[in-house]
Structures are given as C-alpha cells and as structure tokens.
Structure 1
Amino acid sequence: MLHEIAVQMKSKSFWLAALMTLACSIAGTLLAGLPYLNLVGALVISLILGIVFQTAPKAVNEAKSGIGFISNKFLRLGIILLGFKLNLLALLASGVKTIVLAICIVTLTVLLTYNLAKRFGVEKQLAILTACGTGICGAAAVMGISPQLEVQPDEEERKRENEVLAVAVVCIMGTVFTLLEIGLRPILHMTDVQFGVMTGGSLHEIAHAVAAGGANGPVSLDTAIITKLSRVLLLAPVAAIVGIWYSKSTSKATVETGVPVTKKKLPMPWFMLGFLLSSLIGTFLPIPANVIAWLVKLAYIFLGMAMAALGMNVNFQVIFKRGKSVFLASFISSVVLLGFVIVAAKLFF
C-alpha cells in the first residue's frame, strides 16, 4: 500500500483528485453543522457535492485515476481512524443488555432487509450493502462492507452504482425516521433513557441518532450515542462474516454455471482490524480527549473525500431505474426495526 501511495503522489491526477475531494469533504463537514442539514450528515453531503463535480467532466476525467485511489484507500484509512470514536469502556459500562440489544438489532435488520430485497428482485450485492447500511451505521457501513465484495474489473462501475444507491437509501430512510421519531416522542411516553435507546437502536446514521436523541435532552443524547456505537462495534465482525459468505457463495454460483474458476483466498478485512486496534488504543492509552476528537474529525475528512470521489464517478440514470425495490425493502425493515426497538426499550430499559 505504501508503494501505491508513493506512486500516486507523483501523479498530477492524484493531487487534482485530492484537492477536489478535500474541498467537498470540508464543505460537507461545515454544511452538516447547519440546522436541518445535520439530519443528512457530512458524509452524504460530501457525496452530493462530489456529484456536483460531474458538471465539470474535464476536471473529473483528468483526475480519474486519483479519484479511484481515494475512493478505495482513503475509505479504509477513514474507517481505521473512526475506531478512535469507539470507547470500549463506555460501551461496557452501558451494560450487557445494550450489547445484546445491538447484536439482536444488527442480526435482525441485516437478515430481514437482505431477504426482503432479494424477494423484491434486488441483486445480491446491492441487497447486502443496503442491509448492512440499514442495520449498522448508514453510509460508513456501506463503504466499510463494500471492499469485502470482490468483483471483476468490468463490474467495478456496477459496484459503484450499488454503493451510491445503498448510501442514498439509508440516508433518506434515516432522515425520514429521525423526523418520525421526534414526532412520536410525546406519544410514546418513554423515559429519557428509553427514548435514547430507541433512537440509537433504530436510526441509521450516527448523525440521525444524535439529532433525534438530542431533541429529548442530554440523557437521551448520551444514551442514543452509546446504543448507536454498540451497533458500530459490530461493523468489523459483520464485515468479516459477509466477506467469507460472499466469497463462498459467489464461487459456488460460478461453479454451478459450469465456468472454470480459480480458488480464491477468503477476503481478510485488515482495515477492520485497524478499526478495532484504534478503538483499543483510544480506550486504554492515556491520549488526551482533544487529540481523540481531532483524530475522529480527520476520520470524517478522509471518509468524506472517499464519498466525494464516489459521487464523481457514478452513472445516476442507471441508479434511478432500479431504486424502487431496494427502497421498499429498507422501508419495511426500518418499520419492523423501530417497532422491535420500542418494545425492547420499554421492557428492558
């Protein structure tokens, strides 16, 4: 990887792509601090700004190889740094029931969304990305799981379309359900802790959980963040499981068609191990809180650059043609998830 970086840094394409995506990422971070836009989140805004760059096709074409590098490598770097946000002691202090709830939520939502999507005719890769984005942590989960879905070079464009469509689904669903849950707050008669569990357990992006939980005060906000981060913690094991399952299922399907295949190594999500390592470092080493905060900000800058790079390189006409089924699958599973978490919060918190 270091060799790849050294080669890229010598190219004009890389620096042009870095400048364009960095501008999108910083602008996305700033815009996400504004009222209403905080419901959308910095990563999705960066993606949208990357799409805007498609109006300058000459610049995008000149930066094409750099854009591909950033969407791949900077994504992994951002995920690794995002681990510093995950304080394992805070999760442990929240109790075993929060972790158990997170495991139930992620398992239920991923399996339900995937199976609904497949039933509605959605292709396997898009169904997996949408299921993981809905069940774990939105756009970051989509982009974290995507490297585990290995494809042939001629399928890369299709994969990018699937990534963007999955991100769009979880963003829109998360925003809709954030507004819904804030509206339901006076009707549900929940305690502050219960409301925080509901928002952190049912909403898609961290930004969604923060927005909805914060609407009910500091106790709900803290509980929402802890519950949401319990789901984020499961990104690494889910990525490993999905990578192994996808590799085996793809190989099996290829063999059944009679096409000769070479034995592939099972994918190892090394960047996910980096994510867990940074969580351990941030939790147990005496690193000042302001340093941790800056590392997390840097993580979102790198992730925003990767999202912007993705937006610069996607055919949206194709996406609009096949989005209805996957939106429906995500909507149904989001309704089931919300009902499940409301009952769990009422009974156990």
Structure 2
Amino acid sequence: MYGGIIDLLSIVKTKPFWMATIMTLTCSVAGIFLAKLPYVNLIGALVIALLLGIGLQLLPAGIQEEAQAGVGFISNKFLRLGIILLGFRLNLEKLASAGVKTILVAAIAVSTTIALTFWLSKKFGAEDELAALTACGCGVCGAAAVMGVSPQIEAEDEARKRENEVLAVAVVCVMGTVFTLLEIVLKPILGLSDAQFGIVTGGSLHEIAHAIAAGGAFGDISLDSALIMKLSRVILLAPVALIIGIWYQRRLTKKAVRTNASEPKKLPVPWFLVGFIGTSIMGTFLPFSAGAIDALVQIAYIFLGMAMAALGMSVNFKVIFQRGKAVFGAAAISSTFLLVLMIVMSKVLF
C-alpha cells in the first residue's frame, strides 16, 4: 500500500504528469462548455473531450512523447475517480419512487441489448474485448459505461485496449446521436404520451446527453421520465462491470487450462465501483444541497473528460477505421431492436 502511494507521488511530481494534466484539463473544460451549445449538446461533453484529445495528436511529436507517461496515468486513475464522483448523480430515492417496474424495464433493456450487441459483434467478426465494450456502451450508459467496464478486462496489449475503448465510444456516440434525431422525428407518429416518450428515450438512447436532448424537446414531463429511466440504467453499471470481470476471468482461466499456460493473474477488486455505489448512497441520504451535488457531478465530468482526452491522445486511428465495421453494424441493429422494445414496453407498462 505504502509503495503504491510512493509511486503515485513520484508520478505526480513529474513534468510529464503536469503537461498531460494541463492538456487534458483544457480539453475537458472546453468539452463541458461546448456541450452547452445547441446541436453540439447531442454529442455530449465526454465525446467532445475525446475529439479534442484526438486533435492534440497534431502537436509536435516531441511534446506528445514527453507527456505520454502522464497521459497513461490520467486515462487510468482519473477515470476511476470520475466514475466514483458520478455516483452523486444517482438519487436512489427517486429511483425507488419510480417503482420496481422502472428498474425491471431497465434491467430487461440492458441485459437484452448487451447480449444482442455482443452476439452480433462476434458474428460480424469483432474480437471479444471490443464486442464486450461496445455491448456495454450500447446497453448501459454510453462512454461512461465503456470506460467503467474497461478496467475489468485484462489486456496484454495496452495500445490495442485503448483502440477498443475509442472505437466503442465512437460507436455509442454515432448511434446515440442518430437515434436521438430519429426519435424526435418519430414522436408525433408513434402516438406516445410525453411520459411514455420519456421512458422510450431514457431506455433506448445511449448517453445521458442524448436522453436529455430528446426528452427535453417535448417538455418537463418527458424530460423527467427520460432522466429517471436513464438513471435506472446507469445504476446497473456496477453489477454489469462486475459480471463482465467475472466472465472474463473465467474465460482466461479456461483458455489457460486448454493451452497448459500459466494461470492468468486475478483481476483487481473494482473498488471504484464500490465507490460509485457509496457516493450514490451519500448523495441520496446525506444532507447535500442541490448546488453541492451539481458541483460534484460537474467535477466528475471534468475528471472523466480528462480521461477521455488522454485516450484520444494515444490511439492509432488507422487501425480503428480498419476494425470498425463489425461493431458499427452490430450496434445499428441492436439499437433499432432496443428502440422497438422500449416503444412496446412504454405502451404496455406505462
């Protein structure tokens, strides 16, 4: 433990860490402000930070190389810190007041979408890790889910893992944006009430930003329903990440037995997910003001935006374009299925 703290302090004192911090913090804050603009808000602050991080690849090679050690630290540690703080967004009392029905619908939507996206991605030729990240991003809560599940997947090639993360984030961004616009157009045709439409958007769109944009287009009732439904999916991030970690560990163990290889190292306990649940409980039951909760969630997005920008700085996009067809096709089909499923469930149950 003490050795880890000493290593942490030694990294924080270095010039690469502070270079990377300044660069990624600029991207993160810029992403938050740009996400407030009309139309741009469909993309979301995290994806904007990722795109700005990609833009930093245009800097001179010497600057990028010097900052690289700090970039790796930020994409790992700041990601976990951001997810922990994001738990303050979840008000467990509001979710409970929405009833078991809402949680049940969320569980059905998440589980079926993850299973279908993973199966289709594999059918179309994607590797297991990329298929799992894409499936969780489509099923739970977009970029935050991709980054939350990724630490549970052990990787021998970190560069390959970063490529998978960015590709999965790109998929949920594109699909979420397309389906946000589609659902706004379809609302008058589907004959849904404002509350039912909120259930559909919160249950089918990938990013929280997507659900807010679509649900908010038709008033407060629609927006409130969208947020409750979306947060019902977000709370499933912790159990989904744990299940993925257990599944992946068993998969590696079976592979080691078949090939007579050494046992894979055990995955670390995902304490950041325990922290995520803990901050959800704190935000719900401790006397925080609404302003304090908003500030903590904003800080969470700053840290997550920095992690996304760091990710964008260290990815080979030529490889991503070569490998993207399988998961884009799978996500398009599963997103369509999820939309139809949510329309049916909103009409039958709400």
In structure 2, the residue matched to 1:289 is 290
Residue 80 (str. 1) matches residue 84 (str. 2): yes
Whether the 8 Å CA contact 1:243–1:268 is kept in 2: the answer is: no
Q: Distance in 2 between matches of 1:257 and 1:73?
A: 34
The answer to which of 248-257 and 325-334 deviates more is: 248-257
In structure 2, the residue matched to 1:96 is 100
Q: Distance in 2 between matches of 1:80 and 1:10?
A: 24
Whether the 8 Å CA contact 1:243–1:267 is kept in 2: the answer is: no
In structure 2, the residue matched to 1:215 is 217
* Shift of residue 151, structure 1, vs aligned partner: 1.4
Q: Distance in 2 between matches of 1:4 and 1:286?
A: 36
Residue 134 (str. 1) matches residue 135 (str. 2): no
In structure 2, the residue matched to 1:123 is 127
Whether the 8 Å CA contact 1:240–1:268 is kept in 2: the answer is: no
1:38-117 alignment to 2 at 5 Å? 38-56=41-59, 57-117=61-121
Q: Distance in 2 between matches of 1:225 and 1:291?
A: 19
Whether the 8 Å CA contact 1:32–1:40 is kept in 2: the answer is: yes
Residues 31-66 of structure 1, C-alpha deviation per residue, up to 9 Å, x if partnerless?
Answer: 000011100000000000000000012221110000
Whether the 8 Å CA contact 1:18–1:66 is kept in 2: the answer is: yes
Whether the 8 Å CA contact 2:137–2:145 is kept in 1: the answer is: yes
Residues 288-333 of structure 1, C-alpha deviation per residue, up to 9 Å, x if partnerless?
Answer: 1101100000000000000000000000000001101110000000
In structure 1, the residue matched to 2:256 is 254
RMSD, matched Cα:
0.9
Amino acid at match of 1:76: R
Q: Distance in 1 between matches of 2:257 and 2:263?
A: 10
Q: Distance in 2 between matches of 1:202 and 1:276?
A: 23
Whether the 8 Å CA contact 2:31–2:49 is kept in 1: the answer is: yes
Residues 66-125 of structure 1, C-alpha deviation per residue, up to 9 Å, x if partnerless?
Answer: 000000000000000000000000000111100000110110000010011011110000
Residue 26 (str. 1) matches residue 56 (str. 2): no
* Structure 2 spans left out of the alignment, 5+ residues: none
Residue 143 (str. 1) matches residue 147 (str. 2): yes
Secondary structure of 1:16's counterpart equals helix
Given the two structures, how large is their TM-score scaled by the length of structure 2? Answer: 0.97
Amino acid at match of 2:238: A
Whether the 8 Å CA contact 2:203–2:342 is kept in 1: the answer is: yes
Secondary structure of 1:323's counterpart equals helix
Q: Distance in 2 between matches of 1:178 and 1:257?
A: 46
Secondary structure of 1:63's counterpart equals helix
Whether the 8 Å CA contact 1:247–1:267 is kept in 2: the answer is: no
Q: Distance in 1 between matches of 2:212 and 2:269?
A: 32
In structure 2, the residue matched to 1:304 is 305
Secondary structure of 1:334's counterpart equals helix
Whether the 8 Å CA contact 2:252–2:264 is kept in 1: the answer is: no
Whether the 8 Å CA contact 1:84–1:278 is kept in 2: the answer is: yes
123 and 263 in structure 1: CA distance in 2 versus 1, 3 angstrom threshold:
closer
Q: Distance in 1 between matches of 2:275 and 2:323?
A: 35
Q: Distance in 2 between matches of 1:100 and 1:121?
A: 32
Q: Distance in 2 between matches of 1:109 and 1:340?
A: 10
Secondary structure of 2:168's counterpart equals helix
Residue 203 (str. 1) matches residue 188 (str. 2): no
List structure 1 segments (4+ residues) > 6 angstroms apart after TM superposition: none
* Shift of residue 7, structure 1, vs aligned partner: 1.4
Equivalences, count: 346
Amino acid at match of 1:169: V
* Shift of residue 6, structure 1, vs aligned partner: 1.2
Whether the 8 Å CA contact 2:256–2:264 is kept in 1: the answer is: no
Amino acid at match of 1:122: A
